[in-house]
Amino acid sequence: MNNPGFNIELKNLSVGYELPGGGPLEILKSINFSASPGEMVALIGSNGIGKSTLLRTLVGFQNYFSGSIQLNGKELRTIGSREIAWVMSFVSTENIRVANMTVFDLVAYGRFPYTNWIGRLTSDDRQKVADAIKKVGLTGFENRQTIQLSDGERQRAMIARALAQDTPVIILDEPTAFLDVSNKYEIFHLLQVLSKEKGKTVILSTHDLNIALREVDKLWIVTEEGNFQGAPEDAVLNGWLNQLFKNENIGFDLKEGEYFFKKKFREKVKVEGEGLSLIWTLRALNRLGYQIVMKAEPDFKVTAGEKSWTFQKGNATEKFNSIYELLMFLEK
Amino acid sequence: MNQKRDNKTLPVRSIFFLLSLLFLVLLVADLLLGSVIVPLKHIFISVFPTAETNETFRTIILDFRLPKAITAILTGAALSVSGLQMQTVFRNPLAGPFVLGISAGASLGVALFVLGFSSVVAFGVVSVSGAWPLAIVAWIGSFLVMLLVLYVSTRVNDIMTILILGILFTSAVSAIVSILQYFSSESMLKAFIIWTMGSLGSVTNAQLSVMAPAILLGILLALFKIKDLNAFLLGENYARSLGVKIISSRIVIFLSTSLLAGTITAFCGPIGFIGIAVPHICRVIFKTSDHLVLVPAVILTGGIVMLFSDIVSQLPGMQTTLPINSVTAIIGIPVIMWMIIKNKKFVSVS
**Helix locations, A63-180, DSSP H:** 81-87, 103-108, 123-135, 151-164
Q: Which residues contact A162 (CB under 8 A, 6 or more apart)?
A: A89, A90, A91, A110, A170, A172
The more confident residue out of B295 and A279 is B295
B236 CB neighbours in chain A (<8 A) are: none
Identify any residues that bridge with A43 across adjacent strands, giving them in sequence order.
A205, A220
pLDDT > 60? residue A74:
yes
CA distances from residue B234 to A153, A203, B96, B251, B281 in whole angstroms, order as listed: 17, 21, 19, 18, 21
pLDDT in tens, A76-104: 989 888 889 999 999 988 878 888 899 99
| A253, A259 contact by CB (below 8 A) | yes
Question: Which 13-32 residues of chain A touch chain B by CB within 8 A?
Answer: none
**Residue B104, CA atoms < 13 Å, CB-side half-sphere:** 22
A88 touches chain B (CB under 8 A): yes
Task: Give dist(CA B185, CA B118) in Å, integer.
Answer: 10
Report pLDDT for A133. 94
Cross-chain Cβ contact A98/B346 below 8 Å: no
Q: Nearest to residue B142, comparing CAs of B108, B117, B173?
A: B108
Report pLDDT for A43. 95
DSSP letter for A139, please: T
| A57, A69 contact by CB (below 8 A) | yes
Average pLDDT estimate for B293-301: 96
Average pLDDT estimate for A262-279: 82
- Using CB atoms, which residue from A94, A96, A147 is nearest to B345? A147
A90 CB neighbours in chain B (<8 A) are: 237-238, 241
Q: What's the gap between Cα A120 and its chain centre? A: 35
Handedness of CA A238, A243, A248, A250 (dihedral sign): negative
pLDDT in tens, B316-333: 767 778 888 888 888 778
Q: What's chain B's average pLDDT?
A: 83
Task: Give dist(CA A43, CA A37) in Å, integer.
Answer: 16
Q: Which residues contact B211 (CB under 8 A, 6 or more apart)?
A: B71, B74, B203, B263, B264, B267
Residue of A nearest to B8 (CA): A143
Cross-chain Cβ contact B288/A100 below 8 Å: yes
- Using CB atoms, which residue from B224, B226, B242 is nearest to A109? B242
pLDDT > 60? residue B124:
no
B237 CB neighbours in chain A (<8 A) are: 61, 90, 92, 94
Indicate the burial class of B175 (C-beta count within 10 angstroms; 0-12, 13-18, 19 or more). exposed
| A119, B230 contact by CB (below 8 A) | yes
CATH architecture under which domain B6-347 falls: Orthogonal Bundle (1.10)
Task: Give dist(CA B308, CA B215) in Å, integer.
Answer: 20
Q: Under the phi-then-psi rule, with left for phi > 0, alpha for psi from -120 to 50, and beta for the rest, what region is A32?
A: beta
pLDDT > 70? residue B126:
no
Identify any residues that bridge with A252 across adjacent strands, giving them in sequence order.
A259
Q: How close B158 comes to chain A (CA, Å)?
A: 12
pLDDT in tens, A119-164: 889 999 999 999 999 988 899 999 999 888 988 899 999 999 999 9
- Using CB atoms, which residue from A60, A99, A117 is nearest to B289? A99
Which phi and psi angles does B169 have, rounded to 5°?
-60, -45
- Using CB atoms, which residue from A61, A85, A117 is nearest to B243? A85
Cross-chain Cβ contact A81/B235 below 8 Å: no
Q: Which CATH fold topology does A8-100+160-258 show?
A: Rossmann fold (3.40.50)
Report pLDDT for B21. 96
Residue of B nearest to A119 (CA): B227
A–B: how many Cβ contacts below 8 A?
97
Listed by start position, the domains of chain B span 6-347
Task: Please report which helix (H) or strand (E) contains residue A18, including its range.
Answer: strand A8-18
Q: Nearest to residue A269, comparing CAs of A324, A327, A322, A308?
A: A327
Report pLDDT for B22. 96
pLDDT > 60? residue B347:
no
Report pLDDT for B64. 85
B286 CB neighbours in chain A (<8 A) are: 100
Helix, strand, coil shares of chain A, percent, nearest 5, are 35, 30, 35
SS3 B13: helix
Q: Nearest to residue B218, comparing CAs of B286, B298, B326, B324?
A: B298
Q: How many Cβ atoms from other residues are within 10 Å of residue A275's Cβ?
A: 9
The model's confidence at residue B2, banded by pLDDT at 50, 70 and 90, is very low
Share of chain B above pLDDT 90, in %: 29
Cross-chain Cβ contact A81/B243 below 8 Å: yes
- End-to-end distance of chain A based on CA atoms, in angstroms? 66
Report pLDDT for A206. 93
Listed by start position, the domains of chain A span 8-100+160-258, 268-331
The C-alpha R_g of chain A, in whole angstroms, comes to 25
pLDDT > 90? residue A10:
yes
Q: How close B295 comes to chain A (CA, Å)?
A: 12
Average pLDDT estimate for B241-266: 90
User: What pTM was computed for the model?
Assistant: 0.84
Task: Give dist(CA A9, CA B27) in Å, integer.
Answer: 64
Residue of A nearest to B291 (CA): A118
Average pLDDT estimate for B9-19: 86
- End-to-end distance of chain B based on CA atoms, in angstroms? 15
Interface test with A, best of B91, B233, B242 (most A CBs within 10 A): B242
Average pLDDT estimate for B141-160: 81
B231 CB neighbours in chain A (<8 A) are: 109, 112
CA distances from residue B334 to A91, B81, B273, B286, B341 in whole angstroms, order as listed: 40, 21, 11, 20, 11
pLDDT in tens, B78-113: 999 999 999 999 888 878 888 888 888 888 888 888
Q: How many Cβ atoms from other residues are within 10 Å of residue A146's Cβ?
A: 23
Q: Under the phi-then-psi rule, with left for phi > 0, alpha for psi from -120 to 50, and beta for the rest, what region is B90?
A: alpha
Average pLDDT estimate for A212-217: 90
Average pLDDT estimate for B151-160: 79
Report pLDDT for A1. 41
CA distances from residue A105 to A144, A163, B1, B263 in whole angstroms, order as listed: 10, 14, 5, 35
A59 touches chain B (CB under 8 A): yes
Cross-chain Cβ contact B1/A117 below 8 Å: no
Q: What's chain A's average pLDDT?
A: 87
| B139, B106 contact by CB (below 8 A) | yes
The model's confidence at residue B1, banded by pLDDT at 50, 70 and 90, is very low
Report pLDDT for B100. 81
Q: Nearest to residue A35, comparing CAs of A58, A64, A62, A61?
A: A58
